Chains A and B, each alone.
Chain A
Protein backbone atom coordinates (compact mmCIF):
# COMPACT_ATOMS: atom_id res chain seq x y z
CA UNK A 1 0.00 0.00 0.00
CA UNK A 2 1.25 3.48 -0.90
CA UNK A 3 2.23 5.67 2.05
CA UNK A 4 2.17 9.46 1.85
CA UNK A 5 4.76 11.22 4.03
CA UNK A 6 4.28 14.92 4.65
CA UNK A 7 7.05 17.21 5.78
CA UNK A 8 7.74 19.12 7.82
CA UNK A 9 5.38 18.11 10.59
CA UNK A 10 5.15 21.72 11.73
CA UNK A 11 6.08 24.88 9.86
CA UNK A 12 6.51 28.05 11.95
CA UNK A 13 6.18 31.13 9.76
CA UNK A 14 5.02 34.74 9.87
CA UNK A 15 2.22 36.35 7.87
CA UNK A 16 3.59 37.36 4.49
CA UNK A 17 6.07 34.46 4.39
CA UNK A 18 6.14 31.80 1.69
CA UNK A 19 5.16 28.29 2.81
CA UNK A 20 6.37 25.18 1.04
CA UNK A 21 4.78 21.89 2.10
CA UNK A 22 5.97 18.50 0.85
CA UNK A 23 4.10 15.27 0.22
CA UNK A 24 6.20 12.27 -0.75
CA UNK A 25 4.70 8.97 -1.90
CA UNK A 26 6.31 5.57 -1.34
CA UNK A 27 5.47 4.67 -4.97
CA UNK A 28 4.62 6.72 -8.02
CA UNK A 29 1.20 8.36 -7.87
CA UNK A 30 -0.91 9.58 -10.75
CA UNK A 31 -1.13 13.39 -10.79
CA UNK A 32 -4.83 13.09 -11.54
CA UNK A 33 -5.57 11.66 -8.13
CA UNK A 34 -3.46 13.84 -5.82
CA UNK A 35 -5.27 16.46 -3.75
CA UNK A 36 -4.50 18.90 -0.93
CA UNK A 37 -6.85 19.93 1.90
CA UNK A 38 -6.82 22.62 4.58
CA UNK A 39 -8.36 21.99 7.98
CA UNK A 40 -8.86 24.61 10.68
CA UNK A 41 -9.70 23.73 14.30
CA UNK A 42 -13.30 22.65 14.69
CA UNK A 43 -13.91 22.60 10.94
CA UNK A 44 -14.14 19.96 8.27
CA UNK A 45 -11.36 19.72 5.68
CA UNK A 46 -11.64 21.92 2.59
CA UNK A 47 -10.14 20.96 -0.75
CA UNK A 48 -7.56 23.42 -2.03
CA UNK A 49 -5.92 21.59 -4.92
CA UNK A 50 -6.99 18.57 -6.98
CA UNK A 51 -5.26 16.81 -9.83
CA UNK A 52 -1.96 17.93 -8.23
CA UNK A 53 -2.17 21.47 -9.60
CA UNK A 54 -5.80 22.54 -10.12
CA UNK A 55 -7.14 25.09 -7.67
CA UNK A 56 -10.60 24.26 -6.37
CA UNK A 57 -13.44 26.72 -6.75
CA UNK A 58 -13.01 29.80 -4.62
CA UNK A 59 -9.43 29.06 -3.58
CA UNK A 60 -7.16 32.14 -3.76
CA UNK A 61 -4.32 32.09 -6.27
CA UNK A 62 -1.71 32.33 -3.52
CA UNK A 63 -2.24 28.55 -3.19
CA UNK A 64 -0.55 26.43 -5.84
CA UNK A 65 0.24 22.76 -6.26
CA UNK A 66 2.98 21.09 -8.24
CA UNK A 67 4.90 17.88 -8.61
CA UNK A 68 4.68 14.45 -10.18
CA UNK A 69 5.63 10.85 -9.58
CA UNK A 70 6.49 10.58 -5.91
CA UNK A 71 7.07 14.23 -4.95
CA UNK A 72 4.35 16.82 -4.65
CA UNK A 73 4.38 20.33 -3.21
CA UNK A 74 1.79 22.76 -1.93
CA UNK A 75 3.00 26.36 -1.97
CA UNK A 76 1.36 29.32 -0.27
CA UNK A 77 3.03 32.33 -1.83
CA UNK A 78 2.26 34.84 0.95
CA UNK A 79 0.67 33.64 4.14
CA UNK A 80 -2.47 35.40 5.27
CA UNK A 81 -3.65 35.16 8.92
CA UNK A 82 -6.44 32.76 7.88
CA UNK A 83 -3.94 30.33 6.30
CA UNK A 84 -2.57 29.08 9.61
CA UNK A 85 -4.05 25.59 9.73
CA UNK A 86 -3.26 21.93 9.12
CA UNK A 87 -2.76 20.73 5.54
CA UNK A 88 -3.19 17.18 4.26
CA UNK A 89 -2.34 15.56 0.98
CA UNK A 90 -4.52 12.71 -0.29
CA UNK A 91 -4.17 10.19 -3.04
CA UNK A 92 -6.58 7.79 -4.74
CA UNK A 93 -5.02 4.65 -6.15
CA UNK A 94 -5.55 1.95 -8.74
CA UNK A 95 -6.67 -0.46 -6.03
CA UNK A 96 -9.67 1.84 -5.49
CA UNK A 97 -8.37 2.72 -2.04
CA UNK A 98 -7.44 6.12 -0.72
CA UNK A 99 -4.67 7.43 1.53
CA UNK A 100 -4.04 10.62 3.47
CA UNK A 101 -0.69 12.01 4.50
CA UNK A 102 -0.07 12.67 8.16
CA UNK A 103 -0.50 16.42 7.83
CA UNK A 104 1.61 19.57 8.15
CA UNK A 105 0.66 22.19 10.70
CA UNK A 106 1.41 25.75 9.63
CA UNK A 107 1.65 27.84 12.79
CA UNK A 108 2.36 31.46 13.52
CA UNK A 109 5.97 32.10 14.44
Chain B
Protein backbone atom coordinates (compact mmCIF):
# COMPACT_ATOMS: atom_id res chain seq x y z
CA UNK B 1 0.00 0.00 0.00
CA UNK B 2 1.34 3.41 -0.98
CA UNK B 3 1.51 5.46 2.20
CA UNK B 4 3.51 7.68 4.50
CA UNK B 5 3.32 6.72 8.16
CA UNK B 6 4.35 9.35 10.69
CA UNK B 7 5.44 9.03 14.29
CA UNK B 8 3.10 9.78 17.15
CA UNK B 9 2.21 12.97 18.95
CA UNK B 10 4.90 14.77 20.95
CA UNK B 11 4.83 17.22 23.86
CA UNK B 12 7.84 19.43 24.49
CA UNK B 13 8.76 22.34 26.71
CA UNK B 14 9.85 25.67 25.20
CA UNK B 15 13.49 25.57 24.14
CA UNK B 16 13.49 21.81 23.55
CA UNK B 17 13.81 19.92 20.24
CA UNK B 18 11.56 17.44 18.50
CA UNK B 19 12.24 14.83 15.84
CA UNK B 20 9.37 13.60 13.67
CA UNK B 21 9.69 10.58 11.39
CA UNK B 22 7.91 9.68 8.16
CA UNK B 23 8.16 6.12 6.83
CA UNK B 24 7.37 5.51 3.19
CA UNK B 25 5.96 2.29 1.77
CA UNK B 26 4.58 1.05 -1.52
CA UNK B 27 6.75 3.16 -3.79
CA UNK B 28 10.41 3.88 -4.52
CA UNK B 29 11.42 6.09 -1.60
CA UNK B 30 14.34 7.68 -3.43
CA UNK B 31 12.22 8.57 -6.45
CA UNK B 32 10.33 11.55 -5.04
CA UNK B 33 11.19 14.52 -2.85
CA UNK B 34 9.58 14.56 0.59
CA UNK B 35 8.32 17.86 1.95
CA UNK B 36 7.27 18.91 5.43
CA UNK B 37 4.26 21.17 5.90
CA UNK B 38 2.84 22.37 9.18
CA UNK B 39 -0.58 23.59 10.25
CA UNK B 40 -1.25 25.30 13.54
CA UNK B 41 -4.69 24.58 15.05
CA UNK B 42 -7.35 26.38 13.03
CA UNK B 43 -4.76 27.96 10.73
CA UNK B 44 -3.55 27.51 7.17
CA UNK B 45 -0.80 25.42 5.63
CA UNK B 46 2.82 26.50 6.02
CA UNK B 47 5.70 25.00 4.05
CA UNK B 48 8.73 24.01 6.15
CA UNK B 49 11.10 22.49 3.59
CA UNK B 50 12.04 19.43 1.54
CA UNK B 51 14.56 16.65 1.35
CA UNK B 52 15.67 14.72 -1.69
CA UNK B 53 15.81 11.14 -0.39
CA UNK B 54 18.15 10.13 -3.21
CA UNK B 55 20.92 12.66 -2.56
CA UNK B 56 20.07 13.91 0.91
CA UNK B 57 19.92 17.46 -0.43
CA UNK B 58 17.60 19.84 1.41
CA UNK B 59 15.89 23.20 1.07
CA UNK B 60 14.31 24.98 4.01
CA UNK B 61 11.89 27.87 4.20
CA UNK B 62 13.73 31.00 5.26
CA UNK B 63 11.60 31.24 8.40
CA UNK B 64 12.98 27.94 9.70
CA UNK B 65 16.62 28.29 8.61
CA UNK B 66 18.91 27.47 11.51
CA UNK B 67 16.20 25.65 13.48
CA UNK B 68 15.20 22.80 11.17
CA UNK B 69 17.17 19.84 9.90
CA UNK B 70 15.81 17.23 7.51
CA UNK B 71 17.51 13.90 7.08
CA UNK B 72 16.70 10.47 5.72
CA UNK B 73 17.67 6.84 6.14
CA UNK B 74 17.21 5.08 2.84
CA UNK B 75 17.78 1.63 4.39
CA UNK B 76 14.49 1.98 6.29
CA UNK B 77 12.75 4.32 3.82
CA UNK B 78 12.28 6.99 6.44
CA UNK B 79 12.56 10.78 6.40
CA UNK B 80 13.06 12.87 9.53
CA UNK B 81 12.45 16.45 10.51
CA UNK B 82 14.11 17.92 13.59
CA UNK B 83 13.00 21.29 14.88
CA UNK B 84 15.00 22.94 17.67
CA UNK B 85 14.53 25.87 20.06
CA UNK B 86 10.81 25.19 20.16
CA UNK B 87 8.38 27.99 21.00
CA UNK B 88 4.70 27.90 21.81
CA UNK B 89 3.86 29.06 18.30
CA UNK B 90 5.50 25.92 16.91
CA UNK B 91 2.50 23.99 18.23
CA UNK B 92 1.03 22.45 15.09
CA UNK B 93 0.37 19.36 13.07
CA UNK B 94 3.47 18.52 11.06
CA UNK B 95 2.79 16.65 7.82
CA UNK B 96 5.19 14.90 5.50
CA UNK B 97 4.10 14.78 1.88
CA UNK B 98 5.41 13.30 -1.33
CA UNK B 99 5.74 15.64 -4.27
CA UNK B 100 4.92 14.47 -7.74
CA UNK B 101 7.70 15.00 -10.25
CA UNK B 102 7.08 17.41 -13.08
CA UNK B 103 4.30 19.50 -11.57
CA UNK B 104 5.56 19.65 -7.98
CA UNK B 105 2.25 19.12 -6.29
CA UNK B 106 1.61 16.88 -3.31
CA UNK B 107 -0.05 13.60 -4.22
CA UNK B 108 0.50 11.67 -0.99
CA UNK B 109 0.34 12.91 2.60
CA UNK B 110 1.13 11.44 5.98
CA UNK B 111 -1.62 11.74 8.58
CA UNK B 112 0.28 14.35 10.53
CA UNK B 113 2.09 14.49 13.87
CA UNK B 114 0.82 16.88 16.51
CA UNK B 115 3.67 18.67 18.25
CA UNK B 116 2.58 20.57 21.34
CA UNK B 117 4.95 23.06 22.92
CA UNK B 118 3.92 23.99 26.42
CA UNK B 119 5.56 24.74 29.73
Contact = CB atoms under 8 A, between A and B. Distances in A.
Given A33-B104, A97-B59, A44 B44 contact: no
Interface in A85-99: 88, 90, 92, 96-99
B45 A100 contact: yes
Given A97-B59, A97-B61, A98-B35, A45 B45 contact: yes
Interface residues of B, number: 22
A25 interface: no
A99 B49 CA distance: 10
Interface residues of A, number: 24
A103 B111 CA distance: 20
Contacts, number: 60
A102 interface: yes
Given A44-B111, A44-B112, A100 B106 contact: no
Interface string B46-82: 1100100000000101100000000000000000000
Contact of B46 (A44, A50, A100): A100
Contacts of B106: 35, 37, 45, 47, 90
Interface of A: 1, 32-33, 35, 37, 39, 44-45, 47, 50-51, 54, 56, 88, 90, 92, 96-103
Interface of B: 35, 37, 44-47, 50, 59, 61-62, 95, 100, 102-107, 109-112
